[in-house]
Amino acid sequence: MADTYKTDVSCLSAVQLRDALASGELSAREATGHFLAAIESGNKQLGAFVTVTAERALRHAEDADRLHTRLVREHRQEELGLLHGMPVAFKDLTDVAGVPTTHGSAALEHKPAPEDGALAATLKGQGVISLGKTQVPEFGLTAYSENRVAPPSRNPHAMGRSSGGSSGGSAAAVAAGLVPFAPGTDGGGSIRIPAGACGLVGLKPGRGVVPSGASAGDAAKLVVAGPLARTAADAALLMDALAPRDQAPDGGYLASVGRAPEPLRIGVSLDSPWAGIYPFQIEEEAVDALELGTKLLEKAGHSVSEAAIRYDNRYPDAFTTAWTAGVGSARIAPQREALLTPLTRTFRRRAQQRSASKVNEALSFLRQFEHDTVAQYAEWDLILMPTLAQTPRPIGWFTGGGHSGEQWPSEWAGDADEDYKRQCQYAPWSSMVNVCGLPAISIPVHTTAAGLPMGIQLIGRPGSELLLLQLAAVLETR
């Protein structure tokens, strides 16, 4: 084994780690042991993991090494999965066989999952080693990963700040080097928000590109799975494992991510479908990120101009109805309802009070919203805005005072509507992309004076996942 890999596995990108595992320069057990040691050292302070399955991971790594040795000896190494021996973690909304799925809720019984969910099964089929389950908000409902199950997921760049949500634990783990990359899921910003907060590349693929990321009971078809990674190439590698061949570009994502795209027409828009009900201020740091991103895109040969987008003011009510419908039907024993967080309890009660016709009306409106918005976006190749309107928020900021030790105004502590309003003001450009089924990416471009990462979001046309990753690759070499 090469000395480079012996000394510091954490210096390797995910692509380099994959290559070292494939060549035999590094064993799956060595890689797994490295990241388990990093989790043991860093997770207590970070709160990225809810469950760590160390013994199971080491056992699976040993199995992976034996299979690698046998297939290489038999000259059949092409039968190995694309990510054979790669350590990853799954957010605690994804079933992994034999491991409890908490869904971030103290109101549920945390029994081991009887089998892998579709996302875990897909990546295990490509050879990954699961190290455990990462922190999420209750039922994945919020833009921050704090719940009543485990300590909050903190931001590696500033421990008093949130890592975002709902893939917050996964983003924190990647940013802190506890895993090389991680799959996330995104139903309203849940990949892009934590990517923006933690300084990662976070790709939300278009609807249907990653079938294993679909969520049961998601009538609006909002939820998709995609990569959280430190580089565009690492994200492309994970996309190659996630996307079926008939959904991937010729040659795959990684093989093409380094090619710079032809000049593009990019429209900048700060319009948001939430602005009418929740007016928001865009912080100076978000503007700085947008201005820097614009300059970098123009330097790369692209045309960037203002795009005025009109959104139907009925959107907030319709999206909220669709977004919270699932929590209304969740199986929760009556005696355990009190264990729900205030936000979940409030939105569950409202969802249960809505008629089926009201939900169907909302779904019908969202399909029309999709049609109208995609038609407006189509005037440009891409739409550009900041990923987030504000810097990463302090722990406890959304809920009215909690884990950070800071106290927020007691008059709204636990107020679900204030909590939800703050989330929509923090991430006003996220959920409409899910409704439209379009691909979008968060790309880190700026670091504030306080050391906080800030990113830009690019929204593409259907099928533009590779293009978005190529632009991320161009910007990271600036």
The amino acid that residue 39 corresponds to is I
Is 221 a catalytic site residue? no
Is 364 a catalytic site residue? no
Is 91 a catalytic site residue? yes
Tokens of 67: 């299979």
Residue 158: name the closest of 285, 343, 50 by CA.
Answer: 285
Q: What's the rounded Cα separation, in Å, for the pair 282 and 360?
A: 34
Active-site residue (options: 190, 212, 215, 404): 190
Active-site residue (options: 145, 166, 215, 269): 166
Tokens of 10: 């954490």
Tokens of 22: 């494939």
Active-site residue (options: 27, 91, 163, 404): 91
The amino acid that residue 296 corresponds to is L
Three-state SS string over the chain comes to CCHHHHHCHHHCCHHHHHHHHHHCCCCHHHHHHHHHHHHHHHHHHHCCEEEECHHHHHHHHHHHHHHHHHHHHCCCHHHCCCCCCCEEEEECCCCEECEECCCCCCCCCCCEECCCCHHHHHHHHCCCEEEEEECCCHHHCCCCCCCCCCCCCEECCEEEEECCCCCHHHHHHHHCCCCCCEEEEECCCCCHHHHHHHCCEEEECCCCCCHHHCCCCCCCCCCEEEEEECCHHHHHHHHHHHCCHHHCCCCCHHHHCCCCCCCCEEEECCCCCCCCCCCCCCCHHHHHHHHHHHHHHHHCCCEEEECCCCCCCCHHHHHHHHHHHHHHHCCCCHHHHHHCCHHHHHHHHHHHHCCHHHHHHHHHHHHHHHHHHHHHHCCCCEEEEECCCCCCCECCCCCCCCCCCCCCCHHHCCCHHHHHHHHHHHCCCCHHHHHHCCCEEEEEEEECCCCCEEEEEEEECCCCHHHHHHHHHHHHCC
Q: What's the rounded Cα separation, in Å, for the pair 345 and 153?
A: 21
Q: Is the dihedral of CA 119, 122, 124, 129 positive or negative?
A: negative
Catalytic center residues: 91, 166, 190
